[in-house]
C-alpha cells in the first residue's frame, strides 16, 4: 500500500509505503460509534448544579401543626414543592459521566477511521512542515498550496474544522504560525484520537516516516 508524499508547496516528492494494519482496515461503524460516544461522555465536565432539599438553608421548623388547620400537612418549607425549596431531580455537578474504553478497542477505532479517510482521499502526507519564523502569512501560503492538490480544494474555502495538522514534534514557531486559523488544529501525531480525527475534514501527516513509528 503506497501513497504520494508532497512538500509544503504542494509538489510531489515521492511515495511512501503505509502499514496495511493501520490504513487498510475495513469500516466498522458500531465500534467507531461506541468508542467515540464513550470518549465524548468521559470528556464531559458538568457545571450546572442544583441543591436538594437537604442542602437548602433553613426549613427545620414545621410550618404548622399536623392536624386541625384544614390545610395540607407539611414538614418543611424546603420541600421541592415550596417556593425557595430544594430541586428534585435537577442537574448535579457531581454526576460522573466517565465510560471505560479498552485500549485495543480505541486503537482499532482509530485505525478504522484512518483507513476510511485514506480510502476517501482525506489524508495528506507532507515530507516536512516547518517555518523559519512564526508568520501567519507563510502558514496561509502553505494552506493555499495544499488547496491546489486534487481532492484537497476545501483547504482554501472551508470555514470550520478543515483539518488537523499532525507533526512528529510541535514547535513554538509552527504553533504560532497557525494560531490565528480557527478552522484547523496543530497536534503531535502520537496524541491524535478518534474524536479529534473525526471532527476535521482532512488529516495532514507531516514527516510520515517518523510519525508513523508511533504505531509500532
Can you say how many angstroms the Cα of residue 184 is from the centroid of all Cα atoms in its chain? 12
CA distance 186 to 64: 65
pTM, entire model: 0.83
Q: Please name each of the domains of the chain with its CATH number.
A: 2-44+98-215 (3.40.1370.10), 46-96 (no CATH)
CA 16 to chain centre: 28
| 41-77 pLDDT tens trace | 999 999 999 999 999 999 889 999 999 999 999 999 9
What cell numbers appear for 21 in the block? 494494519
pLDDT in tens, 77-102: 999 999 999 999 999 999 999 999 99
Query: Residue 96: helix, strand or coil by DSSP?
Result: coil
Show Cβ contacts of residue 103 under 8 Å, excluding neighbours closer than 6 positions.
Answer: none
Q: By C-alpha distance, which of 166, 146, 176, 164 is closest to 210?
A: 166
- The tens place of each residue's pLDDT in the chain, 216 residues long, gives 889 999 998 898 999 999 999 999 999 999 999 999 999 999 999 999 999 999 999 988 999 999 999 999 999 999 999 999 999 999 999 999 999 999 999 999 999 999 999 999 999 999 989 888 999 999 999 999 999 999 899 988 889 999 999 998 889 999 999 998 988 999 999 999 999 999 999 999 999 988 888 887
Contact (Cβ atoms closer than 8 angstroms) between residue 50 and residue 92: yes
185, 165 in Cβ contact below 8 A? yes
Alpha-helical regions (H) of 148-206: 172-177, 194-198
What is residue 204's three-state secondary structure? Answer: strand
Amino acid at each position: 500500500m503506497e501513497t504520494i508524499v508532497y512538500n509544503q508547496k504542494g509538489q510531489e516528492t515521492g511515495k511512501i509505503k503505509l502499514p496495511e494494519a493501520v490504513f487498510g482496515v475495513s469500516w466498522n461503524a458500531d465500534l467507531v460509534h461506541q468508542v467515540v460516544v464513550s470518549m465524548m461522555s468521559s470528556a464531559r465536565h458538568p457545571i450546572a448544579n442544583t441543591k436538594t432539599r437537604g442542602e437548602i438553608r433553613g426549613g427545620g421548623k414545621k410550618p404548622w401543626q399536623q392536624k386541625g388547620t384544614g390545610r395540607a400537612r407539611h414538614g418543611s418549607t424546603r420541600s421541592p414543592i415550596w417556593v425557595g425549596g430544594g430541586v428534585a431531580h435537577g442537574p448535579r455537578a457531581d454526576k460522573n459521566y466517565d465510560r471505560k474504553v479498552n485500549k485495543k478497542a480505541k486503537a482499532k477505532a482509530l485505525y478504522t477511521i484512518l483507513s476510511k479517510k485514506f480510502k476517501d482521499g482525506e489524508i495528506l502526507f507532507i515530507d516536512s512542515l516547518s517555518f523559519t519564523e512564526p508568520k501567519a502569512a507563510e502558514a496561509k501560503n502553505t494552506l493555499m498550496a495544499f488547496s491546489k492538490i486534487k481532492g484537497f480544494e476545501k483547504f482554501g474555502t472551508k470555514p470550520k474544522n478543515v483539518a488537523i495538522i499532525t507533526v512528529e514534534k510541535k514547535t513554538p514557531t509552527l504553533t504560532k504560525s497557525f494560531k490565528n486559523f480557527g478552522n484547523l488544529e496543530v497536534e503531535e501525531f502520537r496524541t491524535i484520537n478518534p474524536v479529534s480525527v473525526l471532527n476535521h475534514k482532512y488529516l495532514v501527516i507531516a514527516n510520515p516516516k517518523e510519525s508513523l513509528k508511533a504505531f509500532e
